[in-house]
Structure 1
Amino acid sequence: MRRRLVTVLLPVALLAGCGVPVDDAPRPVSAPPGVVPSRTGTATADPDGRVDETLCFVREDGLAAVTRRVDGVSGVDSHLQHLLAGPDPAERDRGLATALPGTITVAGATVAGSLVTVDVREAGEETGRSDDVLAFGQIVCTLTQRPEVDSVSFRRDGQPLEVPRADGSLSALPLTAADYRPLLRR
């Protein structure tokens, strides 16, 4: 009986000694060697490095998000340039357009944490466009598709710029896609 008890208790005692030691306080952990995935980009890459990039264009009187496959993860400036280039021929054939040219002129963008601030210049007087809400909505909805961007603000000549939201109100505060949700079309 005693031999049987030792046979059962010995493995239990040995297993109890194989646990992870408990520290009195947290200790730093180093990142593993090699490439660490980043938060930038809107999807995982294909084996060839292509990723999804979401752009918001105009369809009728609203905004429509489209996904393009692009070579590698682009930065905020490149993503914004892709938006400013407008829909490609296939997207135009599907009824997509842009309100950006002639409405606002984008001079650049800066990133601070999860906020992107877009610098804009005054558009020319004779543009013939009056869809500012769609133009600003395109930028906000496009940039907030990025996982590292939560909100977008605008400034002109270094000063906060009040821009129209979907409900027609003006805001100089950082905006999110929720501010333009009523305009989003499927």
Structure 2
Amino acid sequence: MRARHRVLASALLLALAGCGVTDTAPGPAGSPAAGLPGRTSGTPAAVHVYFYSAQGLERVSRLHRGPDALDAALHHLVQGPNPAERARGLVSYAPGQAPTPVGAADGGGTVRLRAPRGWESRSALRQLVCTAADAVAPADGTGLGNVRVTVDRAAAGGTVTQVCMP
């Protein structure tokens, strides 16, 4: 009986070893994948936007493509929480339908923003300051709490300089 098993096992191994597939070399390929049509170039990166919850200011992530993280973060802030975030209880005090604030970072831990009419409330200002600080902190190596954000407030008049304290 053992001899019969050995013969069967040997026959099985020979059949598997000689399956008829020969070695092949790499073949020509098409062009690399280019992504979805209609999207801007660049690797998706996360930007962080600040909304309020019952516990206070809360950081949420959004994906964007392109070089300007500050502009993307401010744009997402104006859009407000998405449906899933609203379902979790997140709200925004940023003015609805208001123009997006514009800004620039100096690369040394400071950001200067111009906030249009509607950004007068302290809560909206805190969201704006933390969102802007978070957008530039990784790029210039400054810690979030060390980024100084100066906001020119068109409607309220004057400027205010703050750091993010979520």
Under TM normalisation by the shorter chain, which class is it?
Answer: 0.5 to 0.7
With normalisation by structure 2, the TM-score equals 0.56
Q: Residues 117 and 88 of structure 1: is their aligned pair in 2 closer, same or farther, counting only changes over 3 Å?
A: same
1:75 aligns with 2:69: yes
Taking only aligned residues, the RMSD between alpha carbons, in angstroms, comes to 3.1
Among 110, 115, 122, the alignment partner of 1:120 is 115
1:151 aligns with 2:148: yes
Among 117, 121, 146, the alignment partner of 1:132 is 121
- Structure 1 gaps of 5+ residues are 1-47, 125-130, 162-171, 182-186
**Which structure shows the higher strand fraction?**
1
Instruction: Name the residue aligned to 1:18.
Output: none
Name the aligned partner's letter for residue 54 of structure 1: H
Count of residues in Structure 1 that have an aligned counterpart in Structure 2: 115
Overall identity of the aligned pairs, in %: 27
Q: Residues 79 and 107 of structure 1: is their aligned pair in 2 closer, same or farther, counting only changes over 3 Å?
A: closer
- Counterpart contact for 1:106–1:119, Cα < 8 Å: no
**Which structure shows the higher helix fraction?**
2
Name the aligned partner's letter for residue 78 of structure 1: A
- Counterpart contact for 1:53–1:68, Cα < 8 Å: yes
- Structure 2 gaps of 5+ residues are 1-41
| Larger of the two Rg values belongs to structure | 2
With normalisation by structure 1, the TM-score equals 0.51
State the shift of 1:154 in Å: 0.9
1:111 aligns with 2:111: no
